[in-house]
Amino acid sequence: MAIEDATVIITGGASGIGKGMAERFAAMGAAHVVVADVNLDGAKKVATAIGGTARQCDVTSDASVAALVNDTIADLGRIDYFFANAGVGAGGDITASDQLWDMAWKVNVMGPVLAARHVVPHMEAAGGGTFVITASAAGLNTGPVSFNYAVSKHAAIGVAEWLAINHGPTVNVQAICPTIVDTPMASEFGEVMFQPLSVDHVVDSVIAGLKTGAFIIAPNEQPMAMFQAKANDWDGFLNNLQQRVQGLKTD
Ligand SMILES: NC(=O)c1ccc[n+]([C@@H]2O[C@H](COP(=O)([O-])OP(=O)(O)OC[C@H]3O[C@@H](n4cnc5c(N)ncnc54)[C@H](O)[C@@H]3O)[C@@H](O)[C@H]2O)c1
């Protein structure tokens, strides 16, 4: 089903990329957009502006995710697209605390896992659906961003791959892999390797990616080029990044 006719849930829909997707999908005529976020006030603002529904949901809580999914099925009858988009920058290097690791793991990895647990069976019973995880370019290629972010986003891509293998093609599973995006989260990353992308640009590429159904939705070319280069020469990839980190190379 095209997004124009679909019932859509977006987690992390109160801000940034999630808000951008909610606004655009509604403008395209989506049948219903559910804006889910731990920040209910933020979700309400977005939902009110687009004529959607706001739901408070903490993606790290199985009960909260189950309620989001089950209530949506009860109210709207179906979930055609689920965007497991909520994420945290977490932040931290080798000294990062257990609490920061726990938060990154629970939101960035278990968030999509819990969502899949509850959404995928409904999609399979309905004969199909699309489940999209907002991962990151940092999940394809570790970069000099936070330790727990890079690791948790690699795991998020692993979650998407496993779901695609085991529940596709009935459920089409896709992973969005942007480099840095101009959202509130971006300020947490400090020095970055790429110019920030606009939310609009990312949403454009998501819409194009939903049409092709390709597993990876990459809003710019560099992450896939780096990924291919890494596969050809992993030591070269590491050496390049070591030099960047040491400030010996700026290109
Ligand atoms: N901004 C970037 O540079 C960038 C780059 C690549 C990938 N991403 C990913 O894009 C996604 C969206 O990030 P963004 O940049 O729009 O950030 P953002 O901070 O603007 O929005 C994130 C939203 O997620 C919500 N959220 C956080 N924890 C939650 C929880 N436990 N339950 C429910 N909602 C929760 C927040 O309240 C917020 O509204 C994230 O998964 C992020 O990792 C961001």
Average pLDDT over residues 179-206: 86
The number of the ligand 1 atom at minimal distance from the alpha carbon of 61 is 31
Topology of domain 3-220, CATH: Rossmann fold (3.40.50)
Q: Which of 181, 187, 197 for mutating ligand 1's site (highest number of atoms within 8 Å of CB)?
A: 181
Q: What pLDDT score was predicted for residue 147?
A: 94
Q: What pLDDT score was predicted for residue 233?
A: 98
How far does residue 185's CA lie from ligand 1's centre (Å)?
7
pLDDT at 59 over 60: yes
Residue of the nearest CA to atom 43 in ligand 1?
A: 87
Q: Which of 64, 69, 183 for mutating ligand 1's site (highest number of atoms within 8 Å of CB)?
A: 183
pLDDT at 249 over 60: no
pLDDT tens for 162-189 read 999 999 999 999 999 999 999 998 877 6
Q: What pLDDT score was predicted for residue 207?
A: 98
Average pLDDT over residues 122-131: 98
**pLDDT band with cut points at 50, 70 and 90 for residue 136:** very high
CB 167 within 8 A of CB 124: yes
pLDDT tens for 86-116 read 999 978 899 999 999 999 999 999 999 999 9
Residues involved in catalysis:
149
